[in-house]
Amino acid sequence: MAEQTKTARETRELDTREKHARPTRWMPAQLLPEPYPEEGYAFRWIRLSTMGMADATNVSSKLREGWEPVKASQHPEIQLMGESTRFPDSIEVGGLLLCKTPIEFTRDRDAYYLKQASDQMNSVDNTFMRENDPRMPLFKERSSKVTFGKGF
């Protein structure tokens, strides 16, 4: 009887978590497909048009910033229904064009805008503090003092 039980059991290699995993839950489809990551590149969707009106200013400024259209042949995982007439062999979805640029450019851009924001905050702080008067300070420095000994 012990041998019958042994043969009826599955081997340990066949017993996997995938067999016992819960079924995945339904989720709505993503509006914009995500390309497989490429080493050293950042991806972004660039607006070509809004409500059927072409946005040439946005496209040309992004292309001058260093964004380049991604070729559909380089990313076959993204399935498209129609083709772009302005950018052949590109990936366009709903008036948005998938573009890529080297990560160094995105880091430089982020540093540029971070410095701009920091300079603006410093300017606001300086303008605000110009109105400060020692008789009636805008900010009261709070400090605590610790003493040891008798409290009386």
pLDDT number for residue 52: 82
| One pLDDT digit (tens) per residue for the chain, 152 residues | 555 555 566 566 556 666 566 667 887 877 888 888 889 999 999 999 888 888 899 999 999 999 999 988 888 888 776 555 678 888 888 888 999 999 999 999 999 999 999 999 988 888 877 777 777 666 666 666 777 777 66
Taking the C-alpha atoms of residue 150 and residue 66, their distance in angstroms, rounded to an integer, is 70
Asked if 77 and 36 count as a contact pair (C-beta separation under 8 A), the reply is: yes
- pLDDT score recorded for residue 40: 94
Cα(152)–Cα(80) distance, rounded to whole angstroms?
Answer: 82
